[in-house]
Structure 1
C-alpha cells in the first residue's frame, strides 16, 4: 500500500507570473511556501485540504481534461468577489440536478475551475454516526 503523506496539484503555466497574479491576487489563495527566485520561482498555495503548486513553465497550455474542483462556503459571494476582480466567469452559480451549486471560472491558461457550494441538506455533508 502506498502511504500518502501529502499531495498537491502541479501546474506548469505558459506565463508563471500571470498565473501567480491570478491565483494569489485574484483568487486570493493563501501561500503555503515559495521556492527559487525570479520569474521561474515556484509558489505553493493552500487549497483547503490540498495544495496547488504553480512552478516551471510550459510552452503549451494544459489539457482541457485537467480541471480543478474548489469547495467554497458561498458561491454567490464568490461570484460577486471574483467578478469585481476581473476574473473570467465561464458560468455563474447554478444549482445542479445533483444538488450542488457550481460556478465555473478559467485561469489565464484556460484551466477550468469549478467553485462548488455544498448546501446544508446535501448528502456530502452527511457523516454516518454524527
Structure 2
C-alpha cells in the first residue's frame, strides 16, 4: 500500500460561504466533485488542496482528512488485522470511489479512499 495524497476535510455549514472564502479570499480554484455536500479547492500552481463538506453522504461521522491510497483493499485488511476501529465499512460509492473510515488512536476519523480503476 502506498499513500498517494492526503487532503484535509473541513466541516462547514455553508458551501457557498466557503466558496467565497477559498476562491475570492485565498485565490484557490474550485475543483467541483459533482456532489452537493462536498467540494475541493486547489492551488493550481502547487497542487495544495482542501476539501470542505457539510456532512458525509453515507458515513456516520465526518472525516478530518482523506487519505488516498493505491490499494484500498490491502489497506483495509491491514488496519482491520491491526485492530483499528473501522467507523464506516469498505464501500464502493456511487460517485466513483472505494473507501472506508478508520479511527486513529487519538480518535481522529480518516477517510481512506481509492478511485475506481
| Normalised TM-score (structure 1) | 0.40
Q: Which has the higher strand share?
A: 2
Instruction: Name the structure, 1 or 2, with higher relative contact order (CA <8 Å, separation 6+).
Output: 2
| Rg larger in structure | 1
TM-score (norm 2): 0.44
